[in-house]
A and B are shown apart, each in its own frame.
Chain A
Amino acid sequence: MSTQKKTHVSTTINGEPCEFLCEPQQILSDVLRTNLNMTGTKEGCTTGDCGACSVILDGALVCSCLVLAVEAENRSIETIEGIAEDGKLHPIQQKLLEHAALQCGICTPGVVIASKVLLEKNPDPSEEQVRYWLAGNLCRCTGYDKIIRAVLDAGAVMRGEARS
């Protein structure tokens, strides 16, 4: 396994062209974290159950632990490192802070990514829709209450209905 030659992958990460070498069996979350040192994407299970490794792949929300790194060839990946623009927090990030919606913070990057995809698809979700959309993002600290409120509030800001 380890004696296999590494594979060359050309991809786009957060809008920037990126090339890397990886082992053929390496999962995308591992390559982001270990090979590219982009450790904002977290690994809580590597079996697609916790959502901490959520990234956006060609516009779709995926667990990067369920994607082989070689599958990133010619694709476009958005990670947590690319969400704040020009040093300004995204409304979801800002609202998570204002609502104290993180305690340990390990699930937070995944929650930010998943919520961003939700609010792009559905700018005005109900509480229930937020709860079901985020059901794949495990949080053990908060009981979700403040996360749900923060995402609903961020949606209002993005719709121009509330102050950022």
Chain B
Amino acid sequence: MNQQVKPVKTDFKYVGTRPIRPDGPDKVTGRAKYGADLNLPGMLFGHIVRSPHAHARIKSIDFTEALKLPGVLATMCADDLPDPGDRILPGAEIEMKLKDISPIIMARDKVLFHAQAVAAVAATSASLAAEAAKLVRVEYEVLPHVLDVHAAMRDDAPLLHNDMFTQGMNPPPTTPSNLSVDFTMDMGDLAAGFAEADVVVERTYRVPMCHQGYIEPHAAVARTDGNGRVEIWCCTQGHFMVRSMTAEITGIELGKIKVIASEIGGGFGGKTTVYGEPVAAVLALKSGRPVKIVMSREEVFRATGPVSSAETRVRIGAKNDGTITAIETDILMESGAYSSSPIMPSTMFAAACYRCANMRSRGREVLTNKAKVWAYRAPGAPQSIMAVECAINEVAERLGMDPIDLRLKNAVEEGDVPLFGLPFLAIGLKKALQEAKNHPHYRAPLQANQGRGVAAAFWINAGMQSSATINVAADGSLHVLTGNPDIGGSRASMALLAAEVLGIPVETVHPSVVDTDSVGYCDTTGGSRTTLATGGAVIQAAEMLVAELCKRAAAIWNVNFDDVEWSDGKAIARIGADLENLMEGTAAAASAPKVLTLAELAAMAGATGGPLCAVATLHAHNAQPAFAVNICDAAVDRETGKVDILRYTCIQDAGKAVHPAYVEGQMQGGAVQGIGWALNEEYIYNEKGELDNAGFLDYRIPVASDLPMIDTVIVEVPNPLHPFGIRGVGEVPICPPMPAVVTAVNQAAGVRVCDLPLTPPKLLAAIDAA
């Protein structure tokens, strides 16, 4: 563990302020270049041929007719990619087998979901490429498919992978099945815990498959230099990830790939993998021309990482005084066609907010003939936390206890050991709960047909590897280079962190996100890690720079390094009485200038040792959890079942909010994504396994008129392991909204609907039945 020895900094000059983000002007004027915004001379357009079946064997692929069209210059299919065998993808956030990724790029032998990529063509215009794609003849042997997790677990279910043996079972099964994972975590004595309880609540909640819903479709442009080197421009959460995954999938040497991250139009976890990038690279190599592949919105919905549905049975026991005695969760999570769901975090973190001696959590992952799922903001946690938090509210109701008081009574704090085993250090759950309880929102009166829901949530946060380079220009301006795509204002944070260490105005710090050739390795922007880990590298590099600047000043003044200190952007020689006594008679000390500014030192760099530059790399093991509490007021129209969100408040422990406006933005955005998931958003498949709502009209994410203002309260309990006390902030905001909304809506309607989303027809049916 990289335990912090220095005390956590608590007095800040720049961190905690709200400057305009450096990339802002380009983004409000349309100058910023996103994935689909690059056009190169001679560029071809790629188009993907997709499976019309949910499950089928590919018998043959024939490009003859497509290639007859003038202007069609290259084609590809899985034959152009190396066999993934049993290779494990290096560097992935969670362990991934290449054979679970490569067939998403191009299906091998079988297609396992409707719209899976089967082949691709590249042509001189987008319309020509689309026309050519229709002429690619693919022969299929259609196989029976399965779309429901319960049906998929039956013995007679169509088998997706004949080499899929359930992991986590003891003894291991001898026959393959669609149940890919089945594991249980235990603590204490569950039966004894329930025996102690005066009240036991048991429910099963269902959360639907949804989509991350980023507004920018995936886009990539690849070009080659004619000598085997490939350059890829794309919108991604991690261009180093694109480099390694493209190398693994295509067999192109990693060292010959350079990836440039464009601006990114949203990701939320959905852009932590590749889709068109390896295809564009192969087509570019085959054609010798730049190739651009832009997904349509329909392709994004049908064929990119949707989000696991989950069915969670929860059982909670409590004493009359509110002490929770037992918590059991059993989560059935859908992974789509390949094993890749976040069943582990979902299982481990379901009840991480509560101190309870007796816990059990079982997680099962099931494959179905749907698009392979991928990460979405705090992957897996919202689904299981949804069930636990609703049950906690029901326990409070049964005990006649205030739901925040019940949580305060059982909330984890420093020293508690959760089910996943890592003892908590200083954490902000109780403080956040107290803030919620004291908030005027919590005391505001409710009217008829209105309800109020509260929920708390935990997320682990990631650290991982990051690098940063800081160059000082001749005028003393700072140029901070990092390798994490700026998905929500991280350049502003990097600038603030460097400004803080150097003590210079943030406007003189110029942060850039640079390509894979131009900065040290950085893991993907994800896991709420960028400000913590990449920001940590920026802090380290800035500290190294300060040391170097002091060294230069010491040399100029001919004094000891220890006698120079850095303060407010200046080197200062501590030539006071003490020092003069120490260095009595030295001419240099007597005549030395007392102060050198960063700009002065920068101007003299050539004469004092060369350019000023600092590079820091780290593997951050100092991530610490985030906690959030939400309060939601909802009204239900008993005639139509329509829900209105009346008031919404988010409280979150940020550790230290580097740029508070962007922390608030994460809280507000996450809350609204959760509101959408609770009320509107769901994947609707027809019997053939085709997604019926593959567009923003029918897959309805919240719009401005659906919502009230989203109030925020930032709590700051510093992360004791981080030099500036920073925790991650990006993911936990999506964890509490679903249970807060569901509790408010059910209370408003006087019903208990456990099957999300809470659409008007479902609510009306429940109201009518009640």
A41 within 8 A of partner (CB) = yes
B83 within 8 A of partner (CB) = no
A144 touches which of B264, B297, B704 (Cβ 8 Å)? B704
Stretch at the interface among A69-77, A78-86, A155-163: A78-86
A146 touches which of B487, B661, B701, B707 (Cβ 8 Å)? B661
Q: Among B128, B297, B704, B707, which residue has the most Cβ atoms of chain A within 10 A?
A: B704
Top 4 A-B pairs, shortest CB-CB distance: A40-B30, A106-B265, A143-B672, A105-B27
Q: Among A98, A99, A144, which residue has the most Cβ atoms of chain B within 10 A?
A: A144
Report yes or no: B36 in contact with A33, Cβ–Cβ below 8 A. yes
Report yes or no: A138 in contact with B701, Cβ–Cβ below 8 A. yes
Q: What residues of B have a CB within 8 angstroms of the CB of A98 in the complex? A: 20
Binary contact readout B717-747 vs A (1 if CB under 8 angstroms, 0 otherwise) = 0000000000000000000000000000000
With contact pairs A97-B25, A132-B705 given, residues A44 and B668 touching in the complex (Cβ less than 8 Å): no
Give min CB distance, A135 to chain B, whole Å: 4
Q: What residues of B have a CB within 8 angstroms of the CB of A50 in the complex? A: 215, 297, 696
CB proximity to B under 8 Å, residues A41-95: 41-47, 49-50, 52, 79-81, 83-84, 89, 93
Report yes or no: A47 in contact with B28, Cβ–Cβ below 8 A. no
Binary contact readout B112-148 vs A (1 if CB under 8 angstroms, 0 otherwise) = 0000000000000111100100000000000000000
With contact pairs A49-B695, A131-B704 given, residues A145 and B24 touching in the complex (Cβ less than 8 Å): no
Separation of A118 and B584 alpha carbons in the complex (Å): 74
Binary contact readout B628-666 vs A (1 if CB under 8 angstroms, 0 otherwise) = 000000000000000000000000000000010110111
With contact pairs A44-B216, A47-B696, A138-B696 given, residues A103 and B669 touching in the complex (Cβ less than 8 Å): yes
Q: What residues of B have a CB within 8 angstroms of the CB of A138 in the complex? A: 215, 696, 701, 703
Q: What residues of B have a CB within 8 angstroms of the CB of A7 in the complex? A: none
Report yes or no: B662 in contact with A100, Cβ–Cβ below 8 A. yes
Report yes or no: B29 in contact with A141, Cβ–Cβ below 8 A. no
B169 within 8 A of partner (CB) = no
Report yes or no: B696 in contact with A45, Cβ–Cβ below 8 A. yes
Report yes or no: B215 in contact with A139, Cβ–Cβ below 8 A. yes
Q: What residues of A have a CB within 8 angstroms of the CB of B33 in the complex? A: 39
Binary contact readout A15-49 vs B (1 if CB under 8 angstroms, 0 otherwise) = 00000000101100010011001111111111101
Separation of A22 and B590 alpha carbons in the complex (Å): 76
Separation of A72 and B215 alpha carbons in the complex (Å): 26
Report yes or no: A135 in contact with B487, Cβ–Cβ below 8 A. no
Give min CB distance, A28 to chain B, whole Å: 15
B30 touches which of A25, A79, A132 (Cβ 8 Å)? A79
B194 within 8 A of partner (CB) = no
With contact pairs A79-B30, A138-B701, A144-B707 given, residues A2 and B266 touching in the complex (Cβ less than 8 Å): no
Report yes or no: B71 in contact with A2, Cβ–Cβ below 8 A. yes
With contact pairs A39-B37, A106-B216, A143-B672 given, residues A100 and B665 touching in the complex (Cβ less than 8 Å): yes
Q: What residues of A have a CB within 8 angstroms of the CB of B27 in the complex? A: 102, 105, 108
Separation of A142 and B25 alpha carbons in the complex (Å): 18
B488 touches which of A37, A99, A103 (Cβ 8 Å)? A103
* CB nearest neighbor in B for A100: B661
A40 touches which of B29, B213, B215 (Cβ 8 Å)? B29
Size of the chain A interface, CB-CB below 8 angstroms: 64
Separation of A26 and B668 alpha carbons in the complex (Å): 37
Q: What residues of A have a CB within 8 angstroms of the CB of B264 in the complex? A: 104
Report yes or no: B215 in contact with A96, Cβ–Cβ below 8 A. no
B21 within 8 A of partner (CB) = yes
Report yes or no: B28 in contact with A102, Cβ–Cβ below 8 A. yes
A147 touches which of B24, B127, B695, B704 (Cβ 8 Å)? B704
B665 touches which of A45, A49, A84, A103 (Cβ 8 Å)? A103
B248 within 8 A of partner (CB) = no
28 contacts between A and B (CB under 8 A): A23-B125, A30-B126, A33-B37, A38-B30, A42-B215, A44-B215, A49-B697, A50-B215, A50-B297, A80-B30, A97-B20, A97-B24, A103-B669, A104-B214, A104-B264, A106-B34, A106-B266, A107-B215, A108-B28, A112-B28, A138-B701, A140-B673, A141-B266, A143-B665, A144-B707, A146-B664, A148-B709, A149-B709
Q: Among A50, A79, A131, A141, which residue has the most Cβ atoms of chain B within 10 A?
A: A141
A11 within 8 A of partner (CB) = no
* CB nearest neighbor in A for B132: A2
Size of the chain B interface, CB-CB below 8 angstroms: 64
B131 touches which of A2, A43, A44, A96 (Cβ 8 Å)? A2
CB proximity to B under 8 Å, residues A120-145: 127-128, 130-132, 134-145
Q: What residues of B have a CB within 8 angstroms of the CB of A137 in the complex? A: 704
Q: Among A1, A134, A139, A149, which residue has the most Cβ atoms of chain B within 10 A?
A: A139
Separation of A146 and B488 alpha carbons in the complex (Å): 13
Report yes or no: A141 in contact with B216, Cβ–Cβ below 8 A. no
Report yes or no: B127 in contact with A142, Cβ–Cβ below 8 A. no
Q: What residues of B have a CB within 8 angstroms of the CB of A102 in the complex? A: 24, 27-28
Report yes or no: B673 in contact with A103, Cβ–Cβ below 8 A. no
B6 within 8 A of partner (CB) = no
Report yes or no: A145 in contact with B709, Cβ–Cβ below 8 A. yes
Report yes or no: A105 in contact with B265, Cβ–Cβ below 8 A. yes
Separation of A23 and B215 alpha carbons in the complex (Å): 26
B536 within 8 A of partner (CB) = no
Separation of A43 and B215 alpha carbons in the complex (Å): 9
Q: What residues of B have a CB within 8 angstroms of the CB of A127 in the complex? A: 709
With contact pairs A97-B20, A106-B216 given, residues A83 and B29 touching in the complex (Cβ less than 8 Å): yes
Q: What residues of B have a CB within 8 angstroms of the CB of A26 in the complex? A: 127
Separation of A9 and B693 alpha carbons in the complex (Å): 36
* CB nearest neighbor in B for A137: B704
Give min CB distance, B736 to chain A, whole Å: 14
Separation of A135 and B710 alpha carbons in the complex (Å): 16
Report yes or no: B127 in contact with A47, Cβ–Cβ below 8 A. no
Give min CB distance, B225 to chain A, whole Å: 23
Separation of A16 and B419 alpha carbons in the complex (Å): 65
* CB nearest neighbor in A for B219: A43
CB proximity to A under 8 Å, residues B1-46: 18, 20-21, 23-25, 27-34, 36-37, 39
Q: What residues of A have a CB within 8 angstroms of the CB of B214 in the complex? A: 104, 106, 140
B269 within 8 A of partner (CB) = no
Give min CB distance, A109 to chain B, whole Å: 5
